[in-house]
Amino acid sequence: MQQYLIEFPDGRVQALSIAWDTRPRDQGGQRWFHLYPDGGITHKDPLHWTKLRQNWNFMCAECHSTGVRKNYDAKEDRFATSFAEISVGCEACHGAGSSHVAWAREGKRGDPLKGLLARFDERTGVSWSADPSNAFPRRSAPPASLRKEVETCGLCHARRGQLAEDWKPGQLLSETHRVSLLDRRLFHADGQMRDDEETYNYAPFKLSRMFAAGVTCSDCHDPHSGKLKAAVNDVCGQCHAPAKYQTVAHRQHAGPDLNCASCHMPARSYMVVDRRHDHGFRIPRPDLSVKFGTPNACNDCHKNQSAQWAAEKVAGWFGERKPDDRAYVAAFHAAWTEQPDAQRLLATVASSTDISSYARASAMAELPGADVELAKRSLADPDPTVRIGALDMLEGLPAGQLFPIAGPALTDPIRGVRIRAAELLASVSSTTLSKADREAFAGAATDFVAAQRLNADRPEARTALGNFAARQGNVGEAEAEYRAALRLDPFFSAAAINLADLYRGRGRDSEGEQVLRDAIAESGQDASIHHALGLTLVRLKQSDAALDELRRAADLAPEQARYAYIYAVGLQSAGRRGDAIGILRANLQRHPNDRDSLAAMINFSGEVGDTKSALDYAERLVKLTPNDASLAKLIDDLRRLPIQQNRH
């Protein structure tokens, strides 16, 4: 496909949402099409071609050009973006060519790097052979700890945010970028890419057994053309013996239409026509589809059959899979569907050295405040992604406990770790720190602020600066940054909500109300803003208006259990206990393990004399909090009471 860029007088370059399909006509191409044919994109939508999410300077340039410098002037709100080449050239992966030319001219033949910044030699002298014990491919030498090729390709083939513009070939991506971890908005629980989000191939590949075994990008792809080194089956046949795997006995399908990628690298289409193969190299697992709702290659083709049907077919051919295969799938599914054993399963993944470090870091990000000892140990992990995940685990820990654990990360050799540590420790009072600790924090804080200033054209970065200032007690600076974020994007809910919260802390709720109402005027469908406005109106003692806003939030986002819970508490406070119980019952049908709703139903049921329901809800809650002594006592007390049940 070809997209077209529109230049604006302020240096902004925007990607048009009408594109040209470059495929041959017999493949459906040679036509104009809209990137969002079913979206109804209006000028207020962030996906409109004039808005932030279609901005080339930020969204596209780094990966589609070489030597990009964004050059955004926050004061003037203008870009002067520059690049060495408009396309991807040699220097995108190898660094400045002038050093290589100088090496050639000066005849320094002894320099193994040839004047370049990195030598991609991970495959030099390496061979693959069949393991005699199981016929699986085995690398002749273990992979290096620094996977230079994967990190270099990941610069553009990863979902990530930029922290700095001084990336160097072959270095860890976390030095200059924050890599997105497994997230329910982007991935399925097994790491497969979701259809509606661009996640690229870095994450699925790092989760794969191929990556763990030492496979690297150029084992399969020509690094200069990006194309496969041979036909699909021949590429796989370099390591996986064709006599064993390219047979009907292995495929269980006859005919020429299937190749290895059909089953092991299912494709998804993005931007209507851009087909991308998943690089998780996973065995088709319809049994996991049955348990967790994840996609599988079998049902990609057999759409009229159920996952159970496919699972039975696979089990009949190959036998049952081991239950611990891809153990992290159960953990992320449990977390994303609010299962009671989610924390235990995630902690098992996070602490297991046999599981991909990418999965471990992702599990840690789902466990804030859950296991301080695990976070401590993980801060010494050789993978910076895990160290960042460990810092994520410490979010919410009291400031007094935080610095002794996270403080050493302020001087971590990887910038991404230092930046996350500075962000986490911003609320720690400098008066409690030694001179050396203050200097360490100042250095990491400089990295953090520089990363946000690089992205000052984005409301996310300005809001992050606002949060950083607010944590340090710099109210005026925080207010200015939140206001700047809202100027960039009046739709950006986090800035509006955080600014209103800043005003709440200063006794300025009326100003916070206006901020939230202005945001609603721009984006009336954002549940989080309605919820924040409802809470603000409660403090302003505008009860009826507050309930309207809390109801609106619960209606707009039924997937957010807390919105319905808070709305029910508001109804109860207004004397509408029956309505509150009805809201909570409906909420518990959608979120059966929501602890707040269960606790409220215990109280509300007890208040109307419905001891049977109160006991039922208490017994459900104690399964989620088995060490809660006060809840255990309450259950004993309820069991001694006469059983009564009211109908509401």
Model pLDDT for residues 88-101, shown as the tens digit of each residue? 999 999 988 898 89
Residue at 541 is within a domain: no
Q: How much is the pLDDT for 522? A: 83
Residue 648 has pLDDT above 60, yes or no: no
Kindly report which listed range (34-48, 487-501, 580-594) carries the lowest average pLDDT score.
34-48
Mean pLDDT of 50-73: 96
Write the DSSP symbol of residue 54.
G
Structure tokens at 258: 């299937």
Gyration radius (Cα) of the chain, Å: 28
Residue at 108 is within a domain: no
Residue at 641 is within a domain: no
pLDDT above 90 covers a percentage of the chain that reads 81
Q: Quick one: pLDDT band at residue 626, thresholds 50, 70, 90?
A: confident
Q: Residue 66, SS3?
A: strand
Question: CA–CA separation, 236 vs 141, rounded Å?
Answer: 19
Residue 323 has pLDDT above 70, yes or no: no
Question: CA–CA separation, 424 vs 405, rounded Å?
Answer: 11
Question: Kindly report the CA angle at 420 between 419 and 425, in degrees rounded to 5?
Answer: 100
Neighbouring-strand partners of residue 276: 268
**H-helix or E-strand spanning residue 276:** strand 274-277
Residue at 56 is within a domain: no
Kindly report which listed range (23-27, 82-86, 326-330, 355-359) carries the lowest average pLDDT score.
326-330
Q: How much is the pLDDT for 130? A: 83
Determine if the pTM surpasses 0.75. yes
Q: Quick one: pLDDT band at residue 646, thresholds 50, 70, 90?
A: low
What stretches of 281-336 show up as alpha helix (H) in DSSP? 286-292, 297-301, 307-318, 328-336
Give the tens place of pLDDT for each residue, 498-539: 999 999 999 999 999 999 999 999 877 899 999 999 999 999
Neighbouring-strand partners of residue 139: 128
Question: Kindly report the CA angle at 148 between 145 and 154, in degrees rounded to 5?
Answer: 115
Structural domains of the chain, count: 1
Q: How much is the pLDDT for 400? A: 82
Question: Kindly report the CA angle at 187 between 181 and 188, in degrees rounded to 5?
Answer: 130
Q: Under a CB-based contact definition with an 8 Å cutoff, are residues 419 and 444 in contact?
A: yes
Closest by CA to 502, choosing from 541, 526, 468, is 468
Q: In this structure, which amino acid lies at residue 544?
A: D
Mean pLDDT of 408-425: 98
Handedness of CA 601, 606, 609, 613 (dihedral sign): positive
Write the DSSP symbol of residue 85.
B
Residue at 210 is within a domain: yes
Report CA-CA distances (Å) from 85 to 63, 81, 225, 515: 11, 12, 17, 43
Residue at 560 is within a domain: no
Residue at 223 is within a domain: yes
Mean pLDDT of 569-578: 95
Q: In this structure, which amino acid lies at residue 204?
A: P
Closest by CA to 174, choosing from 28, 334, 388, is 388
Report CA-CA distances (Å) from 152 to 92, 117, 224, 438, 569: 9, 12, 13, 34, 51
Question: CA–CA separation, 66 vs 164, rounded Å?
Answer: 15
Domain with 269, as residue range(s), is 128-282
Structure tokens at 123: 């495959």
Per the model's pLDDT, the better-predicted residue between 647 and 391 turns out to be 391
Convert 320-352 to b/e letters by CB count within 10 Å (16 or more is b): eeeeeebbbbbbbbbbbeebbebbebbbbbbbe
Give the tens place of pLDDT for each residue, 539-548: 999 999 999 9
Q: Under a CB-based contact definition with an 8 Å cutoff, are residues 288 and 320 in contact?
A: no
CB atoms within 10 A of CB 132: 7
Q: How much is the pLDDT for 321? A: 77
Q: Quick one: pLDDT band at residue 645, thresholds 50, 70, 90?
A: low
- Only one residue has tokens 């410098």, namely 69
Residue at 158 is within a domain: yes
